[in-house]
Amino acid sequence: MSSENPKDLVPMFFTNTAKSYDKIVYWTTFGKDNVWKNKILEHLSTEKTVLDLACGTGILTKQIADKIPQAKIIGLDITENYIEKAKEKLKSYQNISFVNQDAEKLNLGKKFDCITASYLPKYCISDVLVKNCIAHLNNGGKIILHDFTYPKNKFVRKMWNFYFNILYLVGFFVPNWKKVFVSLPYLIRTTDWITAYENTMKNNGLKVYKQDLTFGTSSIIVGTKII
C-alpha cells in the first residue's frame, strides 16, 4: 500500500484512467473538484500567459481559458494518454497548446505570468518543482498549487476514513481505479506537501498565501514572485 517515492504511483494511477477521469473526479469528490478549481480561478484575472502543470484531461486548463480568453495557455502533463484526451476535448481552443513533459524536468524556454497545478504537489519534491516554476515565472507572477490534504478535525477525519473505506470496496467494481482507491488515502495521510511547499516558497523569496478548503480536505497555496 505504501510507496517509497510518491512519483512511482504516477504511472500506476494514470496509465489506464484517462478515459473515465472526468467522471470519477467529479463523483468521488461530490462535485467539490469544481468548487476547488473555482477557488484556483479566483486568483487569476489579467494574466497573458498561463502554464497548467499536470493538466491531465484539461479540466482546469479549459476553465482558465474560459475565464481569461485573451491568455495563451500551455497544458503540460507527464502521462501521454491524459494529454491526448485533453487535446481531443479542447481542440476548438486556439489559445491552448499541450506539452508532454515531466514537471520536475520542466524546460520550456519561456516564462509565464501564472503557473497552476491541481493534484500535482504530493507527487513531487517541493524544492525541485518550486525552483523549476520560479525559473519559468515572470516577475510579479504567481504559482498556484492545489491538492488534497488530510483533515485535522477528528470528526471530519473519521468521515474521511470511512469514505475512503467505501471507495476501497468500490474499487473492486472499477478495476482501472482500484489502485488509486487503495493507495491514494495512504498518500494523502502521509504527505505534508503544504508545509514543504510553504517552506520552499518562502526560502526562495516568494510571498506565500494559504487557503484551506472544504473542512481541510484540500488546500491551495499561492506563491508570488515579488518584483
Ligand X SMILES: C[S@@+](CC[C@H](N)C(=O)[O-])C[C@H]1O[C@@H](n2cnc3c(N)ncnc32)[C@H](O)[C@@H]1O
**Which residues sit at the interface with ligand X, rule CB under 6 A?**
10, 14, 25, 54-56, 59-60, 77-79, 82, 102-104, 118-120, 123-124
**In whole angstroms, how close is the CB of 84 to ligand X at the nearest point?**
11
Q: Closer to ligand X at the Cβ: 106 or 206? A: 106
**In whole angstroms, how close is the CB of 201 to ligand X at the nearest point?**
18
**In whole angstroms, how close is the CB of 8 to ligand X at the nearest point?**
11
Q: Closer to ligand X at the Cβ: 107 or 153? A: 107
- Torsion angle of alpha carbons 190, 195, 197, 203, nearest 10°? -140
- Which residue has 481559458 as its cell numbers? 65
What the block records as the C-alpha cell of 165 is 473505506
Q: Are 61 and 86 in contact (CB under 8 A)?
A: yes
Q: Which residue is nearest to ligand X (CB)?
A: 56
- Which residue has 494529454 as its cell numbers? 83
Q: Closer to ligand X at the Cβ: 137 or 207? A: 137
Q: How many residues does the chain have?
A: 227
Burial 36-72 (b: 16+ CB within 10 A, else e): bbebbbebbeebebbbbbbbbbbbbbbbbbebbeebb
**In whole angstroms, how close is the CB of 37 to ligand X at the nearest point?**
7
Q: Closer to ligand X at the Cβ: 123 or 181? A: 123
Q: Are 95 and 73 in contact (CB under 8 A)?
A: yes
**In whole angstroms, how close is the CB of 210 to ligand X at the nearest point?**
19
Q: Closer to ligand X at the Cβ: 57 or 224? A: 57
